[in-house]
Chains A and B, each alone.
Chain A
Amino acid sequence: MKNPLVTVGLALSLVLAGGVSYYASSHPDGLEKVAGDVGFLDSAKESATEGSPLAGYGVAGVKNERISGGLAGVIGVASTAAISFGLFYALRRFKKDKL
């Protein structure tokens, strides 16, 4: 790749999602905390994708939390990269064709 920024950035993303995420705070996030404090948290319904093998940022069947979460992070980074690079390269080409 010509641009070292992209290579370094992607490697950093893999390290963050695949490794550092294990140390992330597991407290509820802002909205969840407010929902719990105010009292509407129980109006939440299970997502239709709750059965996904990656639901909740873990890989179904992998017992070790560090490996399960890290693997889910790596899969997420790879999938997001595939879709976003694909989309943005396609949009760039679309523009070129029109000119």
Chain B
Amino acid sequence: MHIPDGFIDIPTSTAFAAVAAVGVAASLKGAARSLDEKTAPLAGLTATFIFAVQMLNFPVAAGTSGHLLGGALAAILVGPYVATLSLTVVLLMQALLFADGGLSAAGLNIFNMSLLGVWSGYGAFLLAKKFLPKSKVSITAAAAFAGLISVPAAAVGFVIQYALGATATFSLTTVLTAMVGTHVLIGIGEAIITGLSVSAVMASRPDLVYGYRGTKKNLEIGEAHK
């Protein structure tokens, strides 16, 4: 999923870098409002854990592998703003230290994974939570669903970038079909890892889980009204 330099032309990459910068700036503001003594260490852990797990490519189909993106996982654990920053730190470390993902492509990658991956995952999580009974197990199930959705969503981001500024001239439908097909499969792995990770944190420190704290608060408000 890490776009190297060269796939997408410089004007398109620059435009996406500008959009990514606006998203990251907004996230810095949002994160400053939500971080406190208790959540700051979990936020650091989330970014570090995602870096580590992104190294673990799993096989998905003949000759193809995938790895966790972590956008949905981070959004549920620490909220979408801090999640965007976490993913951005991971992507910058990978591009700068490990030559994984191009430098001119950094804006493209941040847009797809730190913004699209995080917010589509968070949206899917909130939607699933609405339809599931209010319980801890539901948080894990909603997290897995969010992971599943977030990967093809990020893949569609690449297809949009390809449509706007590909240096190659292959059919857009071919790229769209191949990208979404492959990334739905990778999304299944994402769902499993996201569900397991969220349930592990829910088992030890549910009070720290951003996506669960919201549930409790709503319940309390609901009870207060009665």
Contacts and interface: CB of A to CB of B under 8 A. Distances in A.
Given A5-B201, A43-B7, A76-B93, A33 B64 contact: yes
A87 B7 contact: no
Query: How would you classify the secondary structure of chain B's contact residues: helix, strand, loop or mixed?
Result: helix
Contacts, number: 220
A54 B94 CA distance: 10
Contact of A5 (B33, B37, B208): B208
B64 A55 contact: no
A47 B104 CA distance: 9
Q: How large is the interface on A (under 10, 10 to 19, 20 to 34, 35 or more residues)?
A: 35 or more
A74 to B, nearest CB: 10
Contacts of B89: 80, 83-84, 87
Nearest to A45: B6
With most chain A CB atoms within 10 A of its CB, the pick from B3, B89, B99, B170 is B99
By secondary structure, the A interface counts as helix
Interface in B131-179: 155, 158, 166-168, 170, 174-175, 178-179
B5 A76 contact: no
B198 interface: no
Contacts of A43: 6-7, 166-168
B97 A24 contact: no
B63 interface: yes
Interface residues of B, number: 73
B22 interface: no
A26 to B, nearest CB: 7
A61 interface: no
Contacts of A37: 178
A89 to B, nearest CB: 5
Interface of A: 1, 3-6, 9-10, 12-14, 16-17, 20-21, 24-31, 33-35, 37-40, 43-50, 52, 54-57, 72-73, 75-77, 79-81, 83-85, 87-89, 91-92, 94-95
